[in-house]
Every structure is written in structure tokens, then in C-alpha cells.
């Protein structure tokens, strides 16, 4: 009996260039990096600038510069989603051929009146081509998508009942994140996705698209969310404080502490290289907490 050799580990960090690196961004970078290092794998960076309306000029180089200062090492060129449209288009055409896509003319206002986040199916019977301005939605079938998250455990979502038909190309002509990320993860051969838990409930949509497009499904690992005193996600687009490069040793130790790695108290006095070495040697997914919480203030 022949055995298939396992797919080599390839992880990624996929920031959106909407602002500077804050604690939440650093967390996703560190978690994905340590998982890749621990698995002797590759780690790449993808700039998720598919939503041009949210892009902040210069944020991409600022993010890369910060990562460099922290001592992250990535393989190859950084891929920008804004250069990927032909690939997204190809995936879209494949879904259209499979009769999974319909044009949606509903406005936000109309949908808000519906009182539920699940798309009510108003345009499901419309067919392409459609001359009026429209978004494109993919039909959410009557199926359950289940997966095991390496930190958050068993997950399941019923596509039709809990998600509904979702947008893959927006009314303004931009491809939606859900399609872009699936195409990119497949194209780049990502074997494991490590990212913040705010994307946990997007994952079934992504797995659903992978299945429809006959792509491999990576494994998933969602890190606990860093929240502020009011329990809100620390998010760069809401102007969260930029991480301080001058204090990188302390910041990195704070992230390790947040991720349940229990760095020794004097580790932050070491060099950044020594901190990385400690972090890689001691990286343990089993002690990463599931619940969102506040980073320590010291």
C-alpha cells in the first residue's frame, strides 16, 4: 500500500493595508509565523487590498517595515490581491458555469428592512446577463459545512439557514473578500490558515467555495481575539494604537503572553532573536486560550 507524503506546511499572514500594525495584527502575524516555524514550513505575506475603497495609501509599506523591524522573515515576493483579478474572474466563471451564481439587485436598504442577516432570496431566480447595476451572489445550498479548528474545536454551519446566499462580486465591481481569499489560498498552496477568530464564521463560506471549485481545504486555526476594555475588537481601521517598534521585545512578549505561552518574566530583556528562538522552541497550540480577552497592560 502506498502512502501519500503529506503536503508541505505553508502558512500565510494576510493583512489588509487599512492602517498601521496594532496589537491585533501583530497577534495574527506571530501566531501564523510560529505555527509555520514549528512545522518547519514556509510563511508568506499576502497584502489583502482587494477592497480598494478601504485601502490607505502607504499602509502596505508601513506594515512590511514593521514586520521587518520585528524580525519576521518571509519567503518570496508579497502578493497583492489587486493584481489577482484575472484569477478571481476565472473562479467566478467556473461558478457561473455550475449555475451557482445569480445577479442581485437588492439595495442595502431593502435588505435592512428584511430584519435578518440571511439573504431572503429575492433575486434567486434572476439570470445573467443582467443590465442593471448588480452584485453577484453564490447560492448557499441546503448543506452543513463542518470543520475542526485547531484552537476553537468543532465548528459547523448550515449554509442555507445560517449563512444564506452570499456576495462574491460587489455592486461596485470589486471582488468580495470571500472569493479572493479562497482563490489566493488555493493558488499559493496554503496548507494551514492561522488568523483571528473574527473570521471563524467566514470559514464555512470559504470551505463551501473551495468545495464548489474543487480546491483543497487547508486546516484552520483561529486565534483568540484581542479586545479593549469595552470588549470591542482592537482593530486598525478603528484607529487602534500602532505597535511601538522601539519596544519590540516587550511587545512580542506581550503577544506570547496573550497567546498563553507563559514567557518567563525576564524574556523581554533578551534580544529579539533570542525571544523568537524561545517562542519557536516553546510554541504550544494547546495552551492558546479560546476566549477573547484583553492583552495585559504592563
Name the residues that contact ligand GLU, by CB under 6 A: 14-16, 48, 181, 195, 199
How many whole angstroms separate alpha carbon 223 and alpha carbon 24?
Answer: 10
Helix (H, G, I), strand (E, B) or coil at 263: coil
Kindly tell me which of 13 and 283 has the beta carbon lying closer to ligand GLU. 13
Kindly tell me which of 195 and 248 has the beta carbon lying closer to ligand GLU. 195
Kindly tell me which of 100 and 181 has the beta carbon lying closer to ligand GLU. 181
The answer to whether the beta carbons of residues 272 and 279 sit under 8 Å apart is: no
Smallest CA-to-CA distance from 13 within 88, 67, 59, 57 is with 67
Kindly tell me which of 163 and 253 has the beta carbon lying closer to ligand GLU. 163
- Minimum distance of ligand GLU from residue 65's CB (angstroms): 17
Q: How far is CA 186 from CA 16, 63, 144, 164, in A?
A: 19, 24, 22, 23
- Minimum distance of ligand GLU from residue 207's CB (angstroms): 13
Kindly tell me which of 28 and 275 has the beta carbon lying closer to ligand GLU. 28
Kindly tell me which of 15 and 224 has the beta carbon lying closer to ligand GLU. 15
Instruction: State the cell numbers at 284.
Output: 504550544
How many whole angstroms separate alpha carbon 193 and alpha carbon 64?
Answer: 20
- Minimum distance of ligand GLU from residue 206's CB (angstroms): 8
Smallest CA-to-CA distance from 66 within 246, 263, 275, 224 is with 246
Q: Spell out the residues 6+ positions from residue 226 whose beta carbon is closer than 8 angstroms to its own.
A: 23, 24, 27, 233, 234, 258, 292, 293, 294, 295
The answer to whether the beta carbons of residues 260 and 292 sit under 8 Å apart is: no
How many whole angstroms separate alpha carbon 102 and alpha carbon 169?
Answer: 11
- Minimum distance of ligand GLU from residue 104's CB (angstroms): 24
Amino acid at each position: 500500500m502506498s502512502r501519500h507524503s503529506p503536503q508541505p506546511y505553508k502558512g500565510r499572514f494576510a493583512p489588509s493595508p487599512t492602517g498601521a500594525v496594532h496589537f491585533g495584527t501583530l497577534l495574527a502575524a506571530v501566531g501564523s509565523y510560529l505555527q509555520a516555524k514549528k512545522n518547519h514550513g514556509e510563511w508568506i505575506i499576502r497584502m489583502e487590498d482587494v477592497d480598494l475603497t478601504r485601502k490607505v495609501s502607504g499602509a502596505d509599506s508601513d506594515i512590511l517595515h514593521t514586520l521587518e523591524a520585528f524580525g519576521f522573515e518571509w519567503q518570496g515576493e508579497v502578493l497583492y490581491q489587486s493584481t489577482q483579478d484575472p484569477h478571481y474572474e476565472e473562479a467566478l466563471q467556473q461558478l457561473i458555469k455550475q449555475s451557482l451564481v445569480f445577479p442581485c439587485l437588492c439595495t442595502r436598504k431593502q435588505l435592512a428592512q428584511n430584519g435578518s442577516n440571511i439573504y431572503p432570496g429575492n433575486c434567486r431566480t434572476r439570470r445573467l446577463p443582467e443590465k442593471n447595476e448588480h452584485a453577484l451572489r453564490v447560492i448557499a445550498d441546503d448543506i452543513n459545512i463542518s470543520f475542526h479548528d485547531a484552537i476553537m474545536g468543532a465548528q459547523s454551519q448550515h449554509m442555507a439557514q445560517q449563512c444564506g446566499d452570499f456576495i462574491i462580486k460587489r455592486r461596485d465591481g470589486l471582488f468580495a473578500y470571500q472569493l479572493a481569499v479562497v482563490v489566493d489560498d488555493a493558488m499559493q498552496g496554503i496548507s494551514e490558515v492561522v488568523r483571528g477568530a473574527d473570521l471563524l464564521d467566514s470559514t464555512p463560506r470559504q470551505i463551501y467555495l473551495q468545495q464548489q471549485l474543487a480546491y483543497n481545504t487547508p486546516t484552520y486555526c483561529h486565534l483568540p481575539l484581542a479586545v479593549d476594555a469595552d470588549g470591542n475588537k482592537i482593530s486598525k481601521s478603528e484607529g487602534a494604537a500602532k505597535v511601538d517598534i522601539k519596544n519590540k521585545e516587550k511587545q512580542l512578549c506581550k503577544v506570547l503572553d496573550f497567546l498563553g505561552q507563559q514567557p518567563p518574566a525576564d524574556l523581554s530583556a533578551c534580544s529579539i532573536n533570542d525571544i523568537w528562538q524561545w517562542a519557536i522552541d516553546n510554541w504550544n497550540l494547546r495552551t492558546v486560550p479560546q476566549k477573547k480577552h484583553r492583552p495585559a497592560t504592563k
